[in-house]
Chain A
Amino acid sequence: MSSAIIALALVPMWIIALLRLPGIRRSPRHFLIAVALTSGCLNATFAPQPAVHSWLIQISGLPGLPFAAEMATGIIALSAVHGWLLMGWAADRRESMTVLWRTWAVAGALIAITSTLALTQHLNSAFTYHAVGHHHASPGQMITLAVYEGYLLFVFVSATIFFTLLARTSASRLTKTGLYLMAIGNFGGARSAYTLLYLVPDALPGIPSWPWPWSADLAAVINYPGYALGFIGLALPALALPLHWHRARRDLRLISPLWRDLRTAYPSVIRIHERLPTGALLIAAVTEIHDALGLLAAWPQSTALLAEARSAVEAADLPEDRLEAAAYAAWIAAALAQKPDLSSEHSTWTYGQTAQDDIPGGISWIAAIAREYSAGPLPLTSNATAS
C-alpha cells in the first residue's frame, strides 16, 4: 500500500520536474525552482529504497553515505525553496543574489556539518533511529538532529505562510489554487515537528514522553502526497500561459480586420513595426486602435455620425448587448469611408457603459466593435455622412 502511494506521488513529481528543467536559464528564481524540484524528486525517490542504500554502502564502504545523500538532497531542495521565496521579496538583482548566497551559505554549512558527521559515523539516522520519530544517540548527535529537523520545519512553516499570503493577494484563479495546494502540501512538515517534539524526551530520559503514538505506515508515506500536491500546485499557474496565449490569439483574430483598416487609413498610429509575441501584439493592436479612435473622435463630423449610428442600430432592432458595439462599428466604418484628414487635433473618447475598466474588459469591448465591424457595419446614409 505504501509503495503504491509513493509511486503514485513520484510519477507526477518527476514529470513536472523534467518539464520545468529547460526553463532554468530564464531567471535565478527559475533556476532555484528547477533545483528544488529535481533534488526533491531525487530525495523522495531515493529515501524509500533500502536496496539502493545497501548497494551504496557496499560499494563505498561508508555506512553513513545513504543518510548523507538523502539529507543533502533534502536540504538542497528546501534551501532552494527558501531562497526562491526570499528572492521574491528582494528589490533588485544585487539584493536577490545576496539573499541567495546567504541562504545557500546556511544550507551549505548544514550539509557540510551533517555529512561529515554521517560519513564519519558520528551521525546516522539509521543507527540512532529506533522507532518512528524517535532517536537515541549522544547529546551532540541529538543537537545536530534537532538543527536538521528544525531547519526542515522552519522552511515548511515559512513556505506555508508565504504561499498562503501570496495566494490571498493573487488575482489569477489558477495561481491562487496552485499556491493553496503548495501551502497544503507542506503538511509533510508534520513529521519534522513530531521528531522535534520527541527529541527532548528521547535525549533526556527523566522527562516523560508525549502520549501521541505515530503509525509507522503513516510516517513512511505522509510526506509523499504532500510533495505531490506541492509539485502539482507549482505546475498549475503555468497552465495560465497557454490559456492566455489562446485568448490573445482569439482576440487578435477578431480585432485584426478593424486594426488593419485603421492602420491602412492612418499609418501614423503605428507604434511598433517589428515582430511581437502574441500577447504584446494584442496590446499593440488595442493601443493603436485607441489612438486612431482618439483622432477620429476629434473629427468634427464624428458627433453627428455617432448620433446617426445610434439611431440606425436602434432602428435595426439589434439585441441590446450589441447596440453600443454596433453603433461604434457603424461610426468607424462611415468615418473610414470618408478618410478625413486627422492630422490637426486629438480628442478623448471612451468605452460604452457595459465595458469593464480593466485590460481584459477593454480588449473585450474593442473585440465586440471589431466583430460588428467585420460582420458588416450598418450603412449610414444621412447628410452627416455625405458632408
Chain B
Amino acid sequence: MFRLPRRTLYKQLQREHAALLRQIPDPFNVDQFCVLLRRLTGRNVVAHPFELGRFSRLDACGVGGLYIRTSDLDIIGYAGYVPVPHQLMMIFHEAAHLVCGHYREPEARQGIAAQTMAPSPTSSHPMLRILTRSIGGLDDEAKSQIVQFTNLVQQTHGLPLVAGRSDIEAVMGRSLRDRGPLEKEADALAMALGDRVRRGGLQSLNPAQGQALRELAGPLIHPYRDE
C-alpha cells in the first residue's frame, strides 16, 4: 500500500541516503541538520539565509538556494524571506547536492552525474565549468553576488575571505530553469527529506527572518492593511 515500484530515482536515493533520512532531526532544526550533515560528510557545513533585498539579483534570476563549496566550508544558502516550507525545500535541495557529491569533478563520479557534468569545451576552469553548467543563466552581477554572499558567510564564521570566483571550488544553485539530471537528483532527495519533515515537526527555522519578512514583504503578506 505504501510501497513504490522499484528502480525509481526516488527509491534509489531513499536507499542510498537512508542514514540521512533516518537521522533527520525531529522536530526539524536547521542547526542540528547542519551538525548531522557535518557528521555524515566530514565537512564543516553551515546554512545561511539570504537577507531580503541584499542579493536581489539572485532572487530576480530565480535562484532561491545555493550550495557553495570553499576550501573551509560547505555553505547552504537559501532565501530567508520566502514561506518556511519553501525555505526548507531550498535547504534540502542544496543539502542533496552536498550528500550526492555533485561538487566532485566529473571523472570522480559515476553514471548519471558524470554525464551531466562532462567538461565543457568552452571553459577551462573547473569552478567556472560547474558554475556555468549548474546555474548557467546567471549574469555577472548575480555571479558577483554569489562571491559577496560567500564572503559574508566566511566572515561570519571567522574564515578568510575568498578573493574571487576562482577561490570557490563549486557552486550549485536551485534555479527555475535548470532541469538537468543533477537537479532532478537533488529535487528527488529534497522531496524525500521534505516528506520526512512533513510527518515530523518543525522546531526552528530562521524565526527572526520570518518576522522580518512579515514586516517587509508589503501587500503580499498584509493584504488588508492600508498602504
B interface residues, Cβ below 8 angstroms from A: 2, 4-5, 8-10, 18-19, 22-23, 26-27, 39-40, 52, 59-62, 64, 79, 81-86, 88-89, 176-177, 179, 183-184, 187-188, 190-192, 194-195, 197-203, 205, 207, 210, 213-214, 217, 219-224
For residue A383, CB closer than 8 A to chain B, the reply is: no
Alpha-carbon distance A334/B202, docked complex (angstroms)? 34
From residue B37, how far is it (CB to closest CB) to chain A in Å? 11
Chain B residue at smallest Cβ distance from A323: B224
Q: Tell whether A290 pairs with B82 under 8 Å between CB atoms, given A244-B198, A272-B184, A327-B223.
A: yes
Q: For residue A145, give the distance in angstroms from its CB to the closest CB of chain B.
A: 38
A92, B39: Cβ atoms closer than 8 Å: yes
**Interface locus among A42-50, A52-60, A150-158, A350-358:** A350-358
Q: How far is the CB of A348 from chain B (nearest CB, A)?
A: 5
Chain B residues with Cβ below 8 Å from A92 are 19, 39-40
Distance (whole angstroms) from the CB of B185 to the closest CB of chain A: 10
Partner of A347, one of B59, B86, B199, B202: B59
Contacts of B177 in A (CB 8 A): 268
**Residue picked from A169, A358, A363, most chain B C-beta under 10 Å:** A358
Of the four ranges (under 10, 10 to 19, 20 to 34, 35 or more), the interface on chain A belongs to: 35 or more
**Residues in A lying within 8 Å of B, measured CB to CB:** 27, 29, 91-93, 169-172, 240-241, 244-245, 248, 268-272, 274-277, 279-280, 282-284, 286-287, 290-291, 294-295, 297-298, 303, 306-307, 310, 323-324, 327, 345-353, 355, 357-363, 365
Q: Which A residues lie within 8 Å of B187 (CB)?
A: 271-272, 284
Q: Indicate if the CB atoms of B223 and A359 lie closer than 8 Å.
A: no
Contacts of B40 in A (CB 8 A): 91-92
Residue of A nearest to B35 (CB): A91
Residue of A nearest to B85 (CB): A362
Q: Using Cβ atoms and an 8 Å threshold, which residues of chain A touch B188?
A: 272, 274
A346, B198: Cβ atoms closer than 8 Å = no
Interface contact A350-B191, CB-CB below 8 Å: no
Complex Cα distance A241/B59, Å? 37
B26 — which chain A residues lie within 8 A by C-beta? 170-172
CB distance from A341 to the nearest CB of B (A): 14
Q: Which of B85, B176, B191, B222 has the most CB of A within 10 A?
A: B85
